[in-house]
Structure 1
Amino acid sequence: MSEEAARARDAALIAPLPSTEPVGDEGGDGEPDAVLPQAPQARPGRRERRTARNNVIRPGDLICGSCGQGNAPTRKFCARCGFELREAQVARTPWWRRLLRRRQGPRVVELGTGNGQQDESVPAPEGRLAAFWSRVKFVLGIVFCLSAMLYASYAPFRSMVNERAAEVRKTVTGLIESYYSPVRPAEVVGPSAKGRGAEHLIDLNTASYWSVPYTKPIAGQRRKAVLVVKFDRLVKLDQLIVTAGAGDAFTQHGRPRQMVLTFTNGKEMRMDLQDSAKPQKFTLEHGLATKTVKIDFTDVYPSDKGKDVAVAELEFFSLLS
């Protein structure tokens, strides 16, 4: 073999080394070739790592917003799915349990019998009574709610309840009013218009009335519309009924707006009246051991037809003890 043939054989056996120079495109700008849009590749499904919900939600637990698991209030992340519990909803006590009164104080437990076994806990009598009343209040609350729903939705039941309530109200009112005894004044002294004397105030006839000219007094000026009611003995006054105005001619005369009563003991009481022809009741606070009552008409509902004040009747009552 010649020397040239040997060199050619050895060169064929040597592997060529990779080039260290960057390979460029024909343009020499170094940019990669354009690639056409490809169809999206389907991703493998995410493996579900949640465990089954295996706890009972108790009041105060943090309810996970992702899986609904109840977690202890001290947890930051859900024990089931790892979801953050920063905005988790807190489980609340059911409304029907909030109606039951909670047991107050420790439970009384009897000591063991000495055989190594502990007796069952026995509540104290006070605890049993409190538990009983709690159940009673719960039952009464349910009955009240059902009755209210029935009252609102069932007309015959509503009518029956209204009738019973009216009867009870009438009975109670009759009992209360039956304890009041009328006290008749001996006389009433005061100014009056012609034919409208003060005796008409105590004649038990609302068709007649007392009237007197009235002008609003100036400061320091003596009032003219002042009455003095006298009794023949010391009496106890608890109620006064005033029938204002002049009966059928109610709007033709002025009506008392404000009265100031001064009792025998010197104590005063102000009474504000409504502009109504109906009898108005007032409770007298200083009417104990009274023989005279001075009535001063300090303000009047005016009338366009006359400058006076008129009162149909004054009735005094005493509450029997």
Structure 2
Amino acid sequence: MPVPTVPVAAGAGAAAARARDAALIVPVAPAVPADDEDLDGEPDVVLPQAPQPRPTRRHRPTPRSNTIRAGDLICGDCGQGNAPARRFCARCGEELREAEVAPTPWWHRFRRRRGPRVVPLDSVTGEPGGPAPAPGGGLAALWARARVVLGVLVCLSCMLYATYAPFRHTVDDRAASVRRTATDFLESRYDPVRPSEVRTEDSARGSDPKHLVDLSTATHWAAPFDARSPGGAEKAVLVVGFDRVVALDQLIVTAGAGDEFTGHGRPRQMLLTFTNEKRMRLQLKDTAKPQKFPLKGATAIKTVRIEITDVYPSEKGGDVAVAELEFFSLLS
């Protein structure tokens, strides 16, 4: 943009030239002096105000993202499993100084240990002198071979048991012998408890209640019992007494009348009432073999009231017979 010029008359002097230059200068407004307070550079006075509450920060732990392995440090705050080298929980940041260490399962001792292979070096050349041994040493290698051999033997035994009858019979006999030995060992834990008396409310003619505890299945006790009558069960009641306070743990019942098993009724259900007023209901099978029943809550016992509430009827009907009752307690 061209600068405007002010013409000067010919023959004018220096005064006219200065007037011309002054006309070209833009006038500037005079500066207004500021207040003394603004010149000091200090901030204004602020009145005290009430403190503003800070927003609470919510702690939102991330969900558990790993499974607990043997040797991990279990955080006591969130239950997260952490590596043994950690000092703070990877989930919530809690200190792990007193954290519980996850135990190692017992069956891990039989697993083959994994770890770095140590290669022996030649003392002269410094090069590997032989194959690297398996992790865990010679015992681990021996256990690995033994597992292979055992697996092969088990497979061959199963095939032989399925295809060769004499071998199968031998194995079955040996298993039955082991089962009998175990049963005899368990039975030896019980001590027989002999009743001192047996009382009955009613007995059949020629039947003595003492036959129930004479340790002979050739004799029996019988009582009238009409299965068709609602009150028939009330007559088949007997009370077994002991000469001291005992704790009973097992009862063996031999039902029926021995050689005349089907000639008399056999008990189907028996209700036992102990001295401590506890009761048990026994469900019997229709068999001449001895039947074992565990007795629960039969402690501090002086008498046992046995009530036959249901029977397996016989061809003749009209009675129920029991060959033997045997009581046992655990050896102390």
Match of 2:293 in 1: 282
In structure 2, relative to structure 1, the CA distance for the partners of 1:222 and 1:276 (3 Å cut) is closer
Between Structure 1 and Structure 2, how many residues are aligned?
A: 217
3-state SS of paired residue (1:188): strand
Paired position in structure 1 for 2:127: none
Distance 1:302 1:154 in 2: 47
Q: Alpha-carbon deviation of 1:242?
A: 1.0
Unaligned 5+ runs, structure 2:
1-109, 119-130
| Partner AA of 2:199 in structure 1 | V
Residue 149 (structure 1) shift:
0.8
> Could you say which residue in structure 1 is the equivalent of 2:191?
181
Structure 1 gap segments, 5+ residues each? 1-100, 111-119
Report the counterpart of residue 206 of structure 2 in structure 1: 195
Contact 2:269 2:281 in 1 (8 A): yes
Distance 2:213 2:310 in 1: 22
Q: Quote the RMSD (CA, aligned, Å).
A: 3.7
- For 1:284 and 1:128, the matched residues in 2 are separated by 54
Q: 2:177 aligns with which of 144, 157, 167?
A: 167
Do the aligned residues in 1 keep the contact of 2:134 with 2:141 (CA within 8 Å)? no
Q: CA deviation at 1:157?
A: 2.9
* TM-score (structure 2 length as normaliser): 0.54
Computing the radius of gyration from Cα coordinates, the structure with the larger value is 2
Which of these residues, 138, 144, 149, is aligned with residue 159 of structure 2? Answer: 149
Query: Is the CA contact (8 Å cut-off) linking 2:213 and 2:326 kept in structure 1?
Result: yes
The aligned counterpart of 1:232 is 243
Per-residue CA distance 1:8-34 (angstroms, 9 max, x = gap): xxxxxxxxxxxxxxxxxxxxxxxxxxx
Q: Deviations over 1:251-282 (max 9, x none)?
A: 12111001111222222222111111222122
SS of the equivalent of 2:262 reads helix
CA contact (8 A) 1:228 1:293 kept: yes
TM-score (norm 1): 0.56
Distance of aligned partners of 1:227 and 1:132 in 2 relative to their CA distance in 1, 3 Å threshold: farther
Q: Deviations over 1:20-59 (max 9, x none)?
A: xxxxxxxxxxxxxxxxxxxxxxxxxxxxxxxxxxxxxxxx
Cα separation, partners in 2 of 1:130 and 1:302, compared to 1, 3 Å:
farther
- 1:242 and 1:293 map into 2 onto residues whose CA distance is 14
Percent identity among equivalent residues? 60
The answer to whether the Cα contact below 8 Å between 2:265 and 2:317 also exists between their aligned partners in 1 is yes
What's 1:68 paired with?
Answer: none
Structure 1 residue 158, shift from structure 2 partner = 2.8
